A and B are shown apart, each in its own frame.
Chain A
Amino acid sequence: MLDLLSSARQWAIPLAFLMISTGEVLVLGPIAFVVIALVVGWKVLAWRRFTYQIVDGVLVVEHGILQRARREVPISRIQQVDLRRRLRHRALGVAVVRIDTAGGGSGAEAVLEAIADEEAYALRVALLDRRGVLPAGAGPVDAGSATDAVDPADARPVPVAGPAPVPVVALTTGQLVVAGITGVRLLALLPFAAAGMGLFFELPEETAAGVAGSAPTGAVVVAVLLVAVIPVMLLSAIASSLLTDHGFTLVRVGTDLHLRRGLLDQREATLSLRRVQAVRVHQNLLRRRLGLASVQLQSAGSGTAAEGEVTRLTIPYVREGDLVGLLDSVLPTTVEHPPLVPAPPAARRRAWFRRVGPATVLLVAIAVVATLAGAPIAWALLVLLVPVAVEAELVYRNLGHVGTPTLVVARSGGFVRATDYLPVAKTQSTSLTSSPFQRRVGLASLQLHVAGRGSVPVVHDGDADRLARLRLAALHARVARADEVEVRRRARVEAAAAAEGDEVPSAG
């Protein structure tokens, strides 16, 4: 039925526009009626043709009016089952169910539009539970490799049907409000505020004659604008935070993370812990002062654009004290916390030179030009060097890294500090780079490549020799080898299970 709604929206607007703009409502009215009737009829037919069922461990989806399609998805291959409910879905009590498999084709394996809520939940439980049993069981592929694997991820409890959910994160409205106020959402509105200010600065010159001698008036206007703009910015930041993350709960079920969030547009996603590749912790100055952070999990999704919201899962509000526990429960290794090794002093000079240098050149050039044009006041712009210098110093102080046998932690950033937690077991390849300036002072940067799209974790401006050793350690890491063996073993088990499911359907 929902399909009807969205297509009605698609058609109604152009038609109404057409009718109004031509004014020949009498002629077009019947045509519009016929078109709408045809579309509605077509949609009803499409809806009647769309069926899904689970037959012997295989999800069968059939649809199509003229060109009929039948898709069979072995449940053992299903990686993710996501639920999404927009406002219109919720009005009708239905949900969109997206089903993804490991084979990274484009788009979802199957999308079931508009399944009644209870049915959608039941379906998800049915699909995920059965899937969970297979890869962990002693599959048909050699059990020997399983004992070889030393990946600590193996120490996790073996998923069984219906494991008890363990709450990981649950955010209250108050926490989301704080997250909205302290986060980058506030900055998203800065351009509008700036535009408002710009508008004001345009004003006095035009109305200067009218409000002659009105220096105090100017100050009043600025004050009014500030008073008006700041609440608007705060409110919209809060609103946006609540809209996307209302009721944010993250629950661990066996080896899966279940995420639920959203006020009007509700989303529920599952993410297999095995697929978490790296964790990034963001903290801006304000949040650091308040002891808060936001945490981003990067997973090795199939990488399609549609899956974007799933391959990166962001927890907007985490107290610093809870950080270690959270990292522990989402990363496949136990998180030890050795202190970070600060960057060598040469990195401070580099941070200053790279930020203050270009800014100075630019501002001096502007000032010189302005002076020549008769506005020496432009030298006041040099004040802007202060925040630049502050950021340069912050960039240096934030730099740091540490490598343990199982984990690399790399911290960087200025006003916003980012700390990457990267299990050595997930490193695909490494790249050590050094510019002439870095070489002169014995620095280098180390890129650590992990599966999945997203920013590449980099250890910036570390001591070249240290990073070279870290690189070798990552290359030789037995955990990485074990991880790869495990990933491939699972792939084979799943493929074998899928093949078996195709040939001899067995009741799951």
Chain B
Amino acid sequence: MDAADTPLSSRILLLWRLGWLAGTGLLLVIALLFAALAADAPAAARVLPTVLVGAVGIVLTVLVPAASYRRWRYGVTDDGVEIRHGLLVRQESSIPHFRVQHIDLHQGPLDRWRGIVKLSISTASPATDATLPGIEPEQARTLRARILERAEADDGV
């Protein structure tokens, strides 16, 4: 409650993994295309890149979403909304309650399939980047109500 300590919904993990898998698939297709084009190259030179791309892709697909999920934390404090995430480049964002302009809940088809919601907070600045990519719908509604309540209370008018 006091700090950014809430994780995202674990249901988003599968979506992230699928995303990485799709990326790997795309690169594999490109690698295969090259292998098919370079027909006169020795067999090893044609197979090796494909295998390498596939192996690295799979390893990243297994490791990155999980690690990045572990790093994702958000929370509502007395002052505002705190978000911290990022595997390599770490980011800590804070949005004071009184700056919150509006909150969007967004659910794409894949989100609906997994039963999660994307929540984004907007301020008057277009540079504000405060999006929770996947939390449970019930939690999203509670969170929205809480932030808006605080935003209202803090408004002071």
B127 at the interface (CB under 8 A from A): yes
A431 at the interface (CB under 8 A from B): yes
A484 to B124, CA, bound (A): 10
Given that A436-B88, A475-B79, A484-B98 are known contacts, is A431 also in contact with B157, CB under 8 Å in the complex?
no
Contact of B124 among A142, A435, A447, A451 (CB under 8 A): A451
Whether the Cβ atoms of A428 and B88 lie closer than 8 Å is no
Q: How many A-B residue pairs have CB under 8 A?
A: 86
A27 to B156, CA, bound (A): 74
Interface size class of B (residues with CB under 8 A): 20 to 34
Q: What residues of chain A lie closer than 8 Å to B155, measured between beta carbons?
A: 484-485, 488
Given that A141-B157, A492-B157 are known contacts, is A429 also in contact with B90, CB under 8 Å in the complex?
no
Q: How far is the CB of A434 from chain B (nearest CB, A)?
A: 5
Given that A428-B99, A430-B94, A433-B91 are known contacts, is A449 also in contact with B157, CB under 8 Å in the complex?
no
Q: How far is the CB of B7 from chain A (nearest CB, A)?
A: 20
Interface code B83-99, partner A: CB below 8 Å = 1, 0 otherwise?
Answer: 00010111111111011
Whether the Cβ atoms of A433 and B157 lie closer than 8 Å is no
Contact of B123 among A429, A453, A489 (CB under 8 A): A429
A451 to B156, CA, bound (A): 20
Q: How far is the CB of B110 from chain A (nearest CB, A)?
A: 27
Q: How far is the CB of A225 from chain B (nearest CB, A)?
A: 45
B128 at the interface (CB under 8 A from A): yes
A411 to B92, CA, bound (A): 22
Contact of B92 among A142, A148, A303, A432 (CB under 8 A): A432
Given that A145-B157, A485-B157, A488-B157 are known contacts, is A475 also in contact with B126, CB under 8 Å in the complex?
no
Whether the Cβ atoms of A433 and B94 lie closer than 8 Å is no
Given that A142-B157, A484-B99 are known contacts, is A428 also in contact with B91, CB under 8 Å in the complex?
no
Whether the Cβ atoms of B88 and A435 lie closer than 8 Å is yes
Interface code B116-157, partner A: CB below 8 Å = 1, 0 otherwise?
Answer: 000000011111111000000000000000000000001111
Whether the Cβ atoms of A429 and B96 lie closer than 8 Å is yes
Q: What residues of chain A lie closer than 8 Å to B129, measured between beta carbons?
A: 431
A476 to B93, CA, bound (A): 14
Q: What residues of chain A lie closer than 8 Å to B80, measured between beta carbons?
A: 475
Point out which of A300, A429, A450, A481 has the most chain B C-beta atoms below 10 A from its C-beta.
Answer: A429
Whether the Cβ atoms of B92 and A449 lie closer than 8 Å is no
Q: What residues of chain B lie closer than 8 Å to A492, measured between beta carbons?
A: 157
Whether the Cβ atoms of A471 and B79 lie closer than 8 Å is no
Given that A148-B156, A451-B124, A485-B155 are known contacts, is A429 also in contact with B130, CB under 8 Å in the complex?
yes
Contact of B93 among A429, A484, A489 (CB under 8 A): A429
A5 at the interface (CB under 8 A from B): no
Q: How far is the CB of A279 from chain B (nearest CB, A)?
A: 16
Q: Which residue of A lies closest to B155 (CB)?
A: A488
Contact of B156 among A300, A429, A456, A481 (CB under 8 A): A481
Q: What residues of chain A lie closer than 8 Å to B154, measured between beta carbons?
A: 481
Point out which of A148, A300, A480, A484 has the most chain B C-beta atoms below 10 A from its C-beta.
Answer: A484
Interface size class of A (residues with CB under 8 A): 20 to 34
A469 at the interface (CB under 8 A from B): no
A439 at the interface (CB under 8 A from B): yes
Whether the Cβ atoms of A475 and B94 lie closer than 8 Å is yes
A434 to B89, CA, bound (A): 5
Contact of A428 among B89, B90, B125, B156 (CB under 8 A): B125
Interface code A453-486, partner B: CB below 8 Å = 1, 0 otherwise?
Answer: 1001000000000000001000110001100110
Whether the Cβ atoms of B86 and A433 lie closer than 8 Å is yes
Interface code A49-89, partner B: CB below 8 Å = 1, 0 otherwise?
Answer: 00000000000000000000000000000000000000000
Q: What residues of chain A lie closer than 8 Å to B125, measured between beta carbons?
A: 428-429, 449-452
Point out which of A145, A475, A480 has the most chain B C-beta atoms below 10 A from its C-beta.
Answer: A475
A331 to B92, CA, bound (A): 28
Q: Which residue of B lies closest to A477 (CB)?
A: B96
Q: Which residue of A lies closest to B121 (CB)?
A: A429
A489 to B154, CA, bound (A): 13
A475 to B127, CA, bound (A): 16
Whether the Cβ atoms of B89 and A431 lie closer than 8 Å is no
Q: How far is the CB of A161 from chain B (nearest CB, A)?
A: 27
A434 to B123, CA, bound (A): 23
Whether the Cβ atoms of A447 and B92 lie closer than 8 Å is no
**A and B contact pairs by CB, cutoff 8 A, 22 listed:** A428-B124, A428-B125, A430-B94, A431-B92, A431-B93, A431-B94, A433-B91, A434-B89, A434-B90, A436-B89, A449-B125, A450-B125, A452-B126, A475-B94, A475-B96, A476-B79, A481-B96, A481-B156, A484-B99, A484-B155, A488-B157, A492-B157
Chain B contact residues, CB within 8 Å of chain A:
79-80, 86, 88-96, 98-99, 123-130, 154-157
Closest A-B pairs by Cβ, 5 of them: A451-B124, A428-B125, A449-B125, A449-B127, A428-B123
